[in-house]
């Protein structure tokens, strides 16, 4: 059986969407496929995003920046945008049944000392974790209720 695909989108696919992808993938387990992409991919995953994920016990070193067009021929069950630009540029994907918009600050725009920038990445990671873990709990509860019905 094919796992439902949840696609997390942002503009650059370098920070927020990778944070959300890793956190949601862990929270949902193997029942879902979770990917991320961008409308204008930066071509890299921000090193501080990788660092704050690692601090949370998540290894995203294999992640890479992808364009949302890579998913236009896939059945994407759910699209979640994490920035306003991606929400506005988001196409409708084949098989799409759900769409959510959870906006977060872009930590890549953080200024100040390296420690201050890292603090912004940690804050955004923690905000994303709170939202996406709650979302995952709801999806898992819904799937369990449907299985029992």
Q: Which domains does the chain carry?
A: 5-148 (3.40.50.2300)
What span, in angstroms and rounded, lies between the C-alpha atoms of 145 and 138?
10
- The catalytic residue among 6, 80, 90, 110 is 90
- The catalytic residue among 9, 10, 27, 60 is 10
pLDDT tens, residue by residue, 11-61: 899 999 999 999 999 999 998 999 999 989 999 999 999 999 999 999 999
Q: Quick check: helix, strand or coil at residue 7?
A: strand
What span, in angstroms and rounded, lies between the C-alpha atoms of 73 and 104?
28
Q: Quick check: helix, strand or coil at residue 69?
A: helix
pLDDT tens, residue by residue, 122-149: 999 999 999 999 999 999 998 888 888 8
**15 labelled catalytic:** no
Half-sphere exposure for 3 (CA within 13 Å, toward CB)? 12
- The pTM (predicted TM-score) of the whole model is 0.92
- The catalytic residue among 8, 34, 83, 108 is 83
Q: Six-digit token pair at 43? A: 């071509």
């Amino acid at each position: 059986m094919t796992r439902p695909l949840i696609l997390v989108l942002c503009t650059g696919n370098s920070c927020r969407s990778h944070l959300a992808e890793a956190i949601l993938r862990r929270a949902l387990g193997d029942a879902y496929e979770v990917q991320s992409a961008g409308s204008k991919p930066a071509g890299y995953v921000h090193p501080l995003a990788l660092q704050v994920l690692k601090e949370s016990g998540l290894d995203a070193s294999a992640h890479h920046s992808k364009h949302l067009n890579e998913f236009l021929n896939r059945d994407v069950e759910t699209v979640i945008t994490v920035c306003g630009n991606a929400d506005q540029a988001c196409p409708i994907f084949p098989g799409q049944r759900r769409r959510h918009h959870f906006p977060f600050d872009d930590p890549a725009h953080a200024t100040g000392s390296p420690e201050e920038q890292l603090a912004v990445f940690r804050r955004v990671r923690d905000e994303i974790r709170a939202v996406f873990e709650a979302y995952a709990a709801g999806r898992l509860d819904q799937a369990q209720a449907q299985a029992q019905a």
